Amino acid sequence: MNMSTTDLSQQLRTERIAVETLYRAFSEQNPNLVDSVLAPTWEDLPLAPGQELGPAGIKPIILMVASAFPDIQVTIHDMLQELGKIGVRAEISGTHLGELFGIAPTGKKVSFRLHEFHTIANGLITTTWHMEDWFGLFLQIGQFPPQG
């Protein structure tokens, strides 16, 4: 079945909006935004320690990051897209005003990069492979999480 140019354009737009909404959930500190864009069986690879599968697993992470960085902003620098796949190069910035991984607030303004690859089906994100520059973040904060 051939897809018309208009249908293809609309599907690409829908997929792009889904990915942008995932990042908006962080910037707007609204974890419920993910319910409309993540598939119920969404895979987040790799899972954070203790993270549940599916959309419910990312919600506590959104709240934790928002608590640590109340002025958090996610800036998308690049999106590379083909039907059903989107690669993102983005940056998270904010002021460290809340505890993060056992590190007390430092008041430091920080920014760190992330690179993610999303697969999308039927307008919903089904899988996200991600890599954040946590090492760079901890260097800016001036300490690493306590061992244990």
Residue 109 neighbours by CB distance under 10 Å: 12
* 3-state class percentages of the chain: helix first, strand second, coil last, to nearest 5: 35, 35, 30
Tokens for 137? 């973040």
Per-residue pLDDT of the chain (148 residues; tens, 9 = 90+): 577 889 999 999 999 999 999 999 999 999 999 999 999 999 999 999 899 999 999 999 999 999 999 999 999 999 999 999 999 999 999 999 999 999 999 999 999 999 999 999 999 999 999 999 999 999 999 999 998 6
CA 58, CA 43: separation in Å to the nearest integer?
A: 10
pTM for the model: 0.93
The CATH architecture of the domain made up of 5-141 is Roll (3.10)
Q: Quote the distance between the C-alpha of residue 52 and its chain's center.
A: 15
CA 43, CA 50: separation in Å to the nearest integer?
A: 14
Tokens for 91? 């940056």
pLDDT of residue 105: 98
